[in-house]
């Protein structure tokens, strides 16, 4: 980045500082990962110079001969990888992708049903502070108070009572598998469409370690980073019956020109995700999450639902007598990056909740395995115990850096 260094040394320095931070820390935020060098190069390419309103073969600008080919490649790779009829690769992120689905398939005021945010759902699944909870009538289901798993009897009863236009599966803090078949049964019973938001588990689905929504969902949305390990973008996958409505909702309904550099990077990501190496990575994500959960349980941590089936672990720190924010801050000082998070039926406020949300995609991308997960669990226990002791946390951070240097981060230089 010589030219950036010359033109804007302030921004150059901040980027290099972040680069070192990503190299020297154990990144356990489950929505973060490391993109490959090829994905980074496509994202930073000259394609950012282009403006391309419309779709391949139907643009409002001339000079799209190469852009059309790039987007077509991305579309065809998405359809093949996820086994769907139609793919739209233009949404800027997961939030407008979900918004586009509601805009396409429901009228304002129609009822949608999704998992509540305090129980692990996403804002765009109809939460009241989101536009999706204001334009559409939203009803939220939750998890069982004892098991912290989705109660399908409750979902069915709710769906029969509310008669929703769309039922939404997926979330940001649910550590168990999504049973798309059961959700599909309920949707069919009440004449609803089923939207599967697989943003967190798309890479696990591709890798064969999570159930596949394609046979059951009418529409699938996903971001292209997280476990899929691509750029910050999104896709909408659907059956042919909904293709035209989805495309019109994305453009011209919600967006103008697509981000062509992101489209190219999505295409690269999808090619990488079709390889045997990617499948091995997806399998290891789950193995690592289970190993880390095992270590935390052995050290007295309370885990929501008692463990994990996917890439994600939700910790209730109440038994450790530390609130979520304080725990996350202590871990950050120790070189372990997490985010504080609400837990189901949390008695505390969202800005100061009881829990931590962690996941294993990024550490798995670095090549870490079960042995490293047990060590990470040990450091997490020490850091939470030593919250407030900056010297002790700095010592752990030094040990973390030493281990991180043994596992180079994809796409980043080796220090």
3-state secondary structure the chain: CHHHHHHCHHHHHHHHHHHHHHHHCEECCCCCCCCCHHHHHHHCCHHHHCCCCEECCEECCCCCHHHHHHHHHHHHHHHHHHCCCEEECCCCCHHHHHHHHHHHHCCCCCEEEEECHHHCCCHHHCCCCCCHHHHCEEEEECECCCCCCECHHHHHHHHHHHCCCEEEECCCCCCCCCCHHHHHHHHHHHCCEEEEECCCCHHHHHCCCCCCCCCCCCEEEEECCHHHCCCCCEEEEECHHHHHHHHHHHHHHHCCCCCHHHHHHHHHHHHHHCCHHHHHHHHHHHHHHHHHHHHHHHCCCEEHHHCCCCCEEEEEHHHHCCCHHHHHHHHHHCCEECEEECCCCCCCCCCCCCEEEEECHHHHHCCCCHHHHHHHHHHHHHHHHCCCCHHHHHHHHHHHHHHHCCCCCCCCCCC
Catalytic residue list contains 232: yes
Catalytic residue list contains 13: no
Average pLDDT, the chain: 97
- Phi and psi at residue 172, to the nearest 5°: -115, -10
Q: Residue 414: its pLDDT value, please?
A: 85
Return the ∠ at Cα 197 (arms to 191 and 203), rounded to 5°: 135
- Cα-to-chain-centroid distance, residue 402: 28
Catalytic residue list contains 51: yes
Strands 137-141 and 111-115 come out as parallel
Residue-wise pLDDT tens digits, 196-225: 999 999 999 999 999 999 999 999 999 999
Rg (CA), the chain: 21
Catalytic residue list contains 223: yes
Q: Is the pLDDT of residue 318 over 90?
A: yes
Asked if omega into 252 is within 30° of 0 (cis), the reply is: yes
The residues, ordered by sequence, that sit 6+ positions from 90 with a Cβ below 8 Å of its Cβ are 55, 71, 250, 251, 255, 258, 263
Instruction: Tell me the two tokens of residue 353.
Output: 């909740």
Q: Looking at domain 276-404, which CATH architecture does it have?
A: Alpha-Beta Complex (3.90)
One of 169, 172, 223, 342 is an active-site residue; which one?
223
The top-level CATH class assigned to 40-273 is alpha beta
Residue-wise pLDDT tens digits, 105-153: 999 999 999 999 999 999 999 999 999 999 999 999 999 999 999 999 9
- Phi and psi at residue 213, to the nearest 5°: -80, -15
Strand partners, 55: 58
One of 19, 32, 51, 179 is an active-site residue; which one?
51
Q: Is the pLDDT of residue 415 over 90?
A: no
- Cβ–Cβ < 8 Å for 232, 38: no
Strands 312-316 and 302-303 come out as antiparallel
Q: How confident is the model at residue 350 (pLDDT cuts 50, 70, 90)?
A: confident
Exposed, middle or buried, 329 (CB in 10 Å: 0-12/13-18/19+)?
Answer: middle
396: left (phi over 0), alpha (psi -120 to 50) or beta: alpha
Q: Is the pLDDT of residue 380 over 90?
A: yes
Domains 40-273 and 276-404 share a fold: no
Catalytic residue list contains 162: no
Residue-wise pLDDT tens digits, 22-36: 999 999 999 999 999
Catalytic residue list contains 402: no
One of 232, 271, 287, 401 is an active-site residue; which one?
232
Exposed, middle or buried, 162 (CB in 10 Å: 0-12/13-18/19+)?
Answer: middle
Name the percent of the chain lying above pLDDT 90: 98
Q: Domain ranges in the chain?
A: 40-273, 276-404
């Amino acid at each position: 980045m010589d030219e950036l260094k010359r033109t804007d040394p302030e921004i150059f320095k901040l980027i290099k500082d972040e680069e070192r931070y990503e190299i020297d820390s154990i990144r356990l935020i489950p929505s973060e990962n490391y993109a490959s060098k090829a994905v980074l190069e496509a994202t930073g390419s000259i394609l950012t110079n282009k403006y391309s309103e419309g779709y391949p073969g139907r643009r409002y600008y001339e000079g799209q001969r190469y852009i059309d080919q790039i987007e077509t490649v991305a579309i065809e790779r998405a359809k093949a990888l996820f086994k769907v009829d139609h793919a739209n690769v233009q949404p800027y992120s997961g939030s407008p992708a979900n918004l586009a689905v509601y805009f396409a398939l429901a009228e304002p005021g129609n009822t949608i049903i999704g998992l509540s945010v305090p129980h692990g759902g996403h804002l765009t699944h109809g939460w009241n502070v989101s536009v999706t909870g204001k334009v559409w009538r939203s009803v939220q289901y939750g998890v069982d108070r004892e098991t912290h798993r989705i109660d399908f009897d409750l979902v069915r009863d709710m769906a029969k009572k509310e008669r929703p236009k769309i039922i939404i599966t997926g979330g940001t803090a649910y550590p168990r598998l999504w049973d798309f078949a059961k959700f599909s049964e309920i949707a069919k019973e009440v004449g609803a469409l089923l939207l599967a938001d697989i943003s967190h588990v798309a890479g696990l689905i591709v890798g064969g370690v999570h159930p596949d929504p394609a046979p059951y969902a009418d529409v699938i949305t996903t971001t292209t980073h997280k476990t899929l390990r691509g750029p910050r973008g999104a896709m909408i996958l659907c059956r042919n019956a909904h293709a035209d409505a989805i495309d019109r909702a994305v453009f011209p309904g919600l967006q103008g020109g697509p981000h062509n550099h992101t489209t190219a990077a999505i295409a690269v990501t999808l090619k990488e995700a079709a390889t045997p190496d990617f499948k091995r990575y997806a399998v290891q994500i789950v193995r690592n999450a289970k190993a880390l959960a095992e270590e935390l349980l052995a050290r007295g941590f309370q885990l929501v639902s008692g463990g994990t089936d996917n890439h994600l672990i939700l910790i209730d720190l109440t038994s450790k007598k530390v609130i979520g924010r304080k725990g996350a801050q202590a871990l950050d000082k120790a070189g372990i990056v997490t985010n504080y998070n609400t837990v189901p039926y949390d008695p505390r406020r969202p800005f100061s909740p009881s829990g931590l949300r962690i996941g294993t995609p990024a550490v798995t991308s670095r090549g870490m395995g079960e042995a490293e997960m047990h060590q990470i669990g040990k450091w997490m226990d020490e850091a939470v115990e030593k919250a407030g002791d900056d010297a002790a946390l700095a010592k752990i951070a030094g040990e973390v850096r030493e281990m991180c240097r043994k596992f180079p981060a994809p796409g980043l230089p080796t220090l």
